[in-house]
Amino acid sequence: MKAYTDHLKSKFKPTFFGLFEKQADSLIKNVYAYIYNKTVRNSPAITGCRGVTTGSNMPITIGMIKGEFNAYNNEVQKSVLDRVNEYVAEFESSKIFPPTGDEMQRLLEVRDYFRENIKSSDSNENRPT
């Protein structure tokens, strides 16, 4: 049993959104919600200052996605960028349910920010100190 739990700990990282969810999955869910202009459900919680709070639906903004993306290490960022690039290819080749112009623009905005951020972090790592 110990080996199995160690395997789960190494494969899956606990996140705010779920115990057995990979780190990149929560960001991908937020990217999806941002592209399609959907809301994300915040679960009810007990806070120290306000007591019990009820869950609410919250729209995802580009600022939230940028903040979450910047919080992850380069390995997770690159895996998220790979997934977003796959989405761009699927969007461009979609014939049955073509995306609207607004959805495509939001996806490209996210992809361009991710690319720019990874390039700037790579150049900062390679800079001599």
Q: Is the Cα dihedral 118, 119, 121, 122 positive or negative?
A: positive
| Average pLDDT in the chain | 76
Task: Give the span between the Cα atoms of 30 and 93, in whole angstroms.
Answer: 23
pLDDT at 39 > cutoff 60: yes
Q: Which tens digits make up the pLDDT trace of 83-117?
A: 999 888 888 888 777 788 898 899 999 999 999 98
Q: Is residue 17 included in any domain, yes or no?
A: yes
Contacts of 32 (CB under 8 A, 6+ apart): 38
Q: Is residue 36 included in any domain, yes or no?
A: yes
Q: For the chain, what is the radius of gyration of the CA atoms?
A: 18
State the average pLDDT over residues 70-88: 90
Q: Which of 37, 103, 31, 33 is nearest to 68 (CA)?
A: 31
Phi/psi of residue 73, nearest 5 degrees = -80, 175
- pTM score, whole prediction: 0.67
Classify residue 11 by burial, with Cβ atoms within 10 Å: 0-12, 13-18, 19+: exposed
Q: Which two tokens stand for residue 49?
A: 């200052």
**What total number of domains does the chain contain?**
1
Q: Which two tokens stand for residue 55?
A: 């869950």
Structural domain boundaries, residue 24: 11-126
Task: Give the span between the Cα atoms of 112 and 106, in whole angstroms.
Answer: 10
Task: Give the span between the Cα atoms of 40 and 59, in whole angstroms.
Answer: 6
Residues 10/59, Cβ–Cβ less than 8 Å: no
